Amino acid sequence: MASTGTKKTTAKKTGSKPGKTKPGGSSSAAVRVAVLGAGKMGGILVQAFLRSGLFAREQLVATVAHEARARQLARAWGVRVTTGNKKAVDGADVVLLGVKPQQMGDVVRGVAKALKPGALLISFAASVKTAAIEKSAGGKVSVVRAMPNTPAKLGEGITALCRGSYVSDAQLALAQRIFATVGRTVVVDEKHMDAVTGLSGSGPAFIYIILEALAEAGVNVGLPRDIATQLAAQTAYGAAKMVLETGSHPALLKDEVTTPAGCTVDGILALEEGGLRVTLIQAVKRATERARQLAG
């Protein structure tokens, strides 16, 4: 688990059975969790809680916009799903905010009076700052901001967390446990969250374009498309795992593959001539700037 200090940014992969806790640090058996907006990421988290055993079904309640969808998800997950946010947060120790950024203020103001004293609010809405949520909730409320990414669906995501003004170390640790159910976590200062959005939030889309290009290249040199796609995807997965598990700098691992006068160095030359490195840097910078605009 990553450090609870706000300046530490090391990451660690979750185990299959995360330990149980509550905001005060003891057993999670009595903790109630409300997921407001059980859409794509909210739904991923609910299912991860159940799969990992972090929270039991009776500890969870989720909300969606439509009654038919609520009934469907309740049957699928075996948890209470409703359309009423205010009723859902009543008595909840942790409130996960999965609503759209433009809806956040109205939703938080709508449930503020129903919040349990000492409740922890965790937002994973892009670009919404902790101070804005605190203000909407009426003042000194514990708010953690999270930026997960879509590989969380397979338990291979990375989530950056930052703490608001009133978050205790125990509450931040609980937020880390929550997102450890869907991958790795890092803790950063809030000033870095837009950059996180541009890198790991948008990053999967950039990687998919690279994988698509590698597979097309394989087809171009004679490979069947399904084989080329599998080779490209597993190569990227294995290379990423080498970086995470060895702790080596990517440049050092690149040098291990690049033999003098070999095939790889010619390929790297083509990448440099095509400006791949600069293009990826520019992509992250552009996505980060857009996140800043949305935050403003």
pLDDT in tens, the chain (296 residues): 333 343 333 444 443 333 333 333 334 668 999 999 999 999 999 999 999 999 999 999 999 999 999 999 999 999 999 999 999 999 999 999 999 999 999 999 999 999 999 999 999 998 899 999 999 999 899 999 999 999 999 999 999 999 999 999 999 999 999 999 999 999 999 999 999 999 999 999 999 999 999 999 999 999 999 999 999 999 999 999 999 999 999 999 999 999 999 999 999 999 999 999 999 999 999 999 999 998 77
Q: What is the DSSP letter of 157?
A: E
pLDDT the model gives residue 139: 85
Domain ranges of the chain: 33-193, 201-295
Distance in angstroms (rounded) separating the CA atoms of residues 121 and 164: 10
81: number of Cβ within 10 Å: 25
Please give the torsion angle defined by the CA atoms of residues 266, 268, 269 and 272, in that order, rounded to the nearest 10 degrees.
170
pLDDT the model gives residue 12: 43
Query: What do you get for the CA distance between the two ends of the chain, in Å?
Result: 32
To the question of domain 33-193 being in CATH 3.40.50.720, the answer is yes
- What is 201-295's CATH topology? ProC C-terminal domain-like fold (1.10.3730)
For residue 163, list its beta bridge partners. 144
> At CA 289, angle to CA 284 and CA 295, rounded to 5?
125
Q: Using DSSP, state whether 167 is helix, strand or coil.
A: coil
Residue pair 168/176 in contact by the 8 Å Cβ criterion:
no
